[in-house]
């Protein structure tokens, strides 16, 4: 087995990638990396600086100069977050979780030079580490040699319901229809953009979570990965 084990997960909006990845990472002792958080932080940065998302070069420059980091929450940061995300050392973990930033991050995801910058960062983080990394281009662009490639999905209505519940729980007042429409628009943009669109690679293991509980999904994935690790050890 290579010194590090990489699990790559791609999937549409609100498929449960974050929740599942965090729990699988905890069970296996892996590092969890939320790449969507980086695109969201880039969008927040542009918004704060008053830079329009039509201005590709200016947004790219902002992202190049900023320090965007994603890490495991510390003991004093356990407030339900799955990751701690910092922008120039400021904790923006919750500020990036709004519908507005969701839409803006999808627009940032269309920008090729921004992608190049963030992909490089993500690849650096994964070097020599056991990671579970999730996003839209992980299985074929960021970690094309990943040991396990998963496409995590669920029906549109179930995904919209889950995301609506998440937002309400955070005190963000929004209607189901608004969440559903935003989810459809974002999926449409993420799958049809020219630069590295979301896609199901040939070798992907497609996990449909529509009728599964979180615990069932986590167990299915953890068992398969553990079996692979054990097999590698056995043959080593």
DSSP E strands: which ranges in 67-142? Answer: 68-71, 84-87, 90-91, 131-135
CB-nearer residue toward ligand DC: 82 or 218:
82
CB-nearer residue toward ligand DC: 64 or 232:
64
Contact in structure between 209 and 153 (CB atoms under 8 Å): yes
Q: Least separation, in Å, of the C-beta of 226 and ligand DC?
A: 25
Q: Least separation, in Å, of the C-beta of 6 and ligand DC?
A: 14
Question: Residues interacting with ligand DC, by CB under 6 A?
Answer: 13, 35-36, 39-40, 105-106, 109, 135-138, 186, 190
Q: Least separation, in Å, of the C-beta of 235 and ligand DC?
A: 32
- The alpha helices in 13-111, defined as continuous H runs, are 17-28, 36-49, 56-65, 99-108
Contact in structure between 210 and 154 (CB atoms under 8 Å): yes
CB-nearer residue toward ligand DC: 40 or 162:
40
Q: Least separation, in Å, of the C-beta of 205 and ligand DC?
A: 18
CB-nearer residue toward ligand DC: 93 or 130:
93
Phi/psi-derived region of residue 5, left when phi > 0, alpha when psi is between -120 and 50, beta in every other case: beta
* Sole residue written with tokens 């167990």: 219
């Amino acid at each position: 087995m290579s010194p590090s084990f990489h699990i790559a997960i791609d999937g549409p909006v609100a498929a449960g990638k974050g929740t599942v990845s965090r729990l699988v990472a905890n069970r296996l002792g892996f590092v969890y990396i939320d790449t969507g958080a980086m695109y969201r932080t880039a969008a927040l940065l542009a918004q704060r600086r008053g830079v329009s998302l039509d201005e590709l070069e200016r947004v790219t420059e902002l992202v190049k100069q900023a320090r965007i980091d994603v890490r495991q929450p510390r003991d004093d940061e356990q407030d339900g977050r799955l990751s701690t995300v910092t922008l120039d050392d400021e904790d923006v973990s919750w500020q990036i979780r709004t519908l507005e930033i969701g839409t803006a991050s999808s627009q940032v995801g269309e920008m090729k030079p921004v992608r190049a910058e963030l992909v490089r960062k993500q690849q650096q983080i994964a070097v020599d580490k056991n990671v579970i990394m999730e996003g839209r281009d992980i299985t074929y662009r960021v970690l094309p040699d990943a040991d396990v490639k998963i496409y995590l999905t669920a029906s549109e209505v179930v995904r919209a319901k889950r995301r609506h519940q998440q937002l309400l729980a955070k005190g963000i007042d929004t209607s189901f229809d608004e969440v559903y429409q935003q989810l459809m628009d974002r999926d449409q943009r993420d799958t049809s953009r020219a630069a590295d669109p979301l896609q199901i690679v040939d070798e992907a293991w497609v996990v449909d979570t529509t009728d599964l509980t979180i615990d069932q999904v986590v167990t299915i994935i953890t068992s398969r990965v553990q079996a692979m690790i054990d097999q590698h050890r056995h043959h080593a």
